[in-house]
Amino acid sequence: MTSSVADDDATTQIATRLIEAVPADEHIDDPAAAPKRRPDRRWAWLALVVVALAVAVPAVAIVHKRAEVMAELARRLDVLATGRAEVLTAWLEGLTRPVDRVVGSEMFRLFATEIDLARGDIADLAAGAERPSTAPDRRTDKTLDVPLSAQIPFMAQVLTDFAKAEGFLAGYLINRDGVAYVATGGAPELTPAQRAIAARVLDHGTLEYGPLRGGETGLVLDIFAPVFPAQRGTEADTPVGVALLSVPVSERLAEILRPPPLSQPGERLRLLQRVDDEVQQVAPGLAPPLRPVAGITLPAEGSRLPFAARSGIGDGVTVYSAGAAVGAANRGANWWMVQEIEATAARRPIVTFAIAAGSIAVLVVLAVAAAFGAFWWRLANDHNAAMAAQYRTLAARIEAQKRLLDSINATITDHIGLKDLSGTYRYVNPAFARAVGRPVDQIVGLDDAAIFGRGTADRLKHAERRALAADAAVTTHERIYLDGRLHHLQITRIPFRNDTESIAGIVSVTRDITDLIEEQERRERAQRQMVAALVRAVELRDPYLAGHSRRVAGFAAAVAERLGAGAEDVATVEIAANLSQIGKLGVPREILAKPERLTGTEIKTMQRHIEHAIAIVREIDFDLPVLATIEAMHERLDGSGYPRGLRGSAIPLGARILGVCDWFCARVEPRSYRQGIAPEEALRILEDNVDRYDPQVVAALRAVVGSVTGEKLMADLGVA
């Protein structure tokens, strides 16, 4: 905290501004001060001109600011996209070095030349057939010490060892007819697309990258390199074959596409590739990793994607974006690195500037109005004694408001502190001092490390850097020990500017929300206990449901996480799954325990368990859409479900997840009238009913069932 004199001056300035904001007629009570004459109208015209300027200047400034922000944004996006495109280009060039070792090897070139000179069926060659005597012999060496058919296994093993050593998935040597006469162990058969690219490489004689494609290990890149003759003659520039090497690229692409540490809010990096007439987003780590993109037209190969407002790639949100072609476009890699920023985030500086400019304009108008009002009043009032009395009254009010501000500051419960840029406290209010258990004068001059400890200080410093970098308020929740007790604090940090509008420090406003957090935790514990009690009640009523709710909850939560659902959505399906069977408390016991299949009437009675469940939990406030999820869990995509016959997207995702997992668990679990079926059979039935069950949810369930989590959930049923 500053000295008492400085505090008095600051408080006096605040009080003075509050007094100035009060309408003038609240300060002047003397009726003798009424104007006696009408001033010249030229002053009124001057006031109008000033007001017009106060409106026009900010408007022009806002237009200029918008152009400046957009120009800077275009430069930034272009630089970021170009930088990442260059990184990707350099990485691609690095991938070609091992390939160059293959196509530059004299052994491979000689072998490819001999295969090309054979010009026969590869199957015949492998069987030891000789070349027709009438076929022209283009070899310089007329005889071979080892038949070609005997060399093929050896060359395949050499290529396999090389691929394993360099991290390639597969490798091939391809002849002019598109036949892979040498392949690494376990390599799949060439696709028509790969044969077409190989033929193109044979034509133009330069290395080419195939389009990214999905594989069992993620994204795979095919590299096609021409193999030239071992002895160059008149046909030195004509390849005799093509070497194809397939390399996994998901991990490296994920690293390249990872946002940089200093990326702005709303910024994201996208990699696009064009395959024929289709534009695809490359998303390593997601399923599927290649996603069709609509609504964007890529330029010609090697051209830049100009800066413009567009629909965001993948989500349709309006963004500003610019892109740069990856430098390997001339080698078949039709890739573009696109840098996006959400339009709302991009325009935030403009909006902030417009608000500030508008505020300044209002203040200017008010200031001009006040100045002309005072001048008008001055011309009309010649009672100096009355004016002196008004000034004395004004001084008294300032003093009263100063005392009022002092009393308010002393009673504020939030902890307020002001630190300079070095992290040293320059001011704290009494509430701050009481919270840390030190007098105010002992806190001023210390930093967070001296007050809270080094670990806590480092956490607080990180949030302060964010606020200073963004030049905006940043709010975080911190766990800090004060007087030996853990406190949950909500801290808002705002950059503090001095008279020259330079950032001179940071203001922190801290609110202790410990009681709120502890109450929320107690409430969540009570909800969990209540849910567990209801589940036990259902299981006691129907022994065949023992463990069913827990199992459905486990599968539903795992499926939701695999589909990328947020924490609240995962919690919703987990709670709804645990409560999904409590409505059966309202179903007659003879129907629940009936050893035969239910009749139509009994099925309708059983289906009313949804109504009973809603009636039981309706009054419980979960702060999550649990009721809606339970109510729609038996709806089906084709409208054949109950109770409302909802269709398609009208069924919430959580309900679709819960419906699939509930059906799956019910079929693999035994019932009074049947035995459970195998999990694989249950999954096949779900996959065969795509009109009733969400295919994406079913695919995610299959992945979970095959995971360690699924094995644990199925362990008590004795199935794997």
Closest Cα to residue 438, out of 456, 459, 415, 421?
415
Same fold, 413-512 and 517-717: no
d(CA 365, CA 125): 95
Report domain extents, the chain. Answer: 1-34+381-411, 104-248, 413-512, 517-717
d(CA 587, CA 598): 13
> How much is the pLDDT for 14?
43
d(CA 415, CA 437): 12
CA distances from 600 to 581, 607, 612, 642 (A): 20, 11, 19, 14
d(CA 52, CA 46): 10
Q: Quick check: 413 pLDDT over 60?
A: yes
Please check whether residue 416 is in contact with residue 432, taking contact to mean a CB–CB distance below 8 angstroms: yes
**In what helix (H) or strand (E) does residue 460 lie, and over which residues does it extend?**
helix 454-470
Give the rounded percent of residues in the chain with a pLDDT score beyond 70. Answer: 82
pLDDT, tens digit, 9 for 90 and up, residues 492-505: 989 988 888 888 88
Please state the φ and ψ torsions of residue 671, each to the nearest 5 degrees: -130, 175
Q: Quick check: 383 pLDDT over 80?
A: no
Asked if the peptide bond before residue 643 counts as cis, ω within 30 degrees of 0, the response is: yes
CA distances from 327 to 82, 96, 609 (A): 10, 14, 62
d(CA 460, CA 508): 10
Q: Quick check: 16 pLDDT over 50?
A: no
> How much is the pLDDT for 679?
92
Out of 134-138, 180-184, 328-332, 613-617, pick the least confident.
134-138
> How much is the pLDDT for 161?
93
> How much is the pLDDT for 385?
67
Q: Please state, rounded to an integer, the average pLDDT across all residues of the chain.
A: 81
Most confident of 186-200, 418-432, 600-614: 186-200
In this structure, CATH architecture of domain 104-248: 2-Layer Sandwich (3.30)
Over range 41-47, report the average pLDDT. Answer: 74
Q: Measured over all CA atoms, what is the biggest interatomic distance in the chain, rounded to whole angstroms? A: 131
DSSP code per residue over 334-361: -EEEEEEEEHHHHTHHHHHHHHHHHHHH
Residue 329 has a CB neighbour count (10 Å cut-off) of 19
30 vs 41 pLDDT, higher one: 41
d(CA 192, CA 247): 19
d(CA 320, CA 309): 4
Closest Cα to residue 547, out of 594, 509, 581, 571?
581
pLDDT, tens digit, 9 for 90 and up, residues 163-173: 999 999 999 99
> How much is the pLDDT for 497?
87
- The count of residues in the chain is 720
Please state the φ and ψ torsions of residue 307, each to the nearest 5 degrees: -65, 130
Q: What is the CATH number of domain 517-717?
A: 1.10.3210.10
Q: Quick check: 660 pLDDT over 60?
A: yes
DSSP code per residue over 147-169: -HHHHHHHHHHHHHHHHHHHT-S
Over range 379-389, report the average pLDDT. Answer: 67
Over range 55-81, report the average pLDDT. Answer: 91
Q: What is the CATH number of domain 413-512?
A: 3.30.450.20
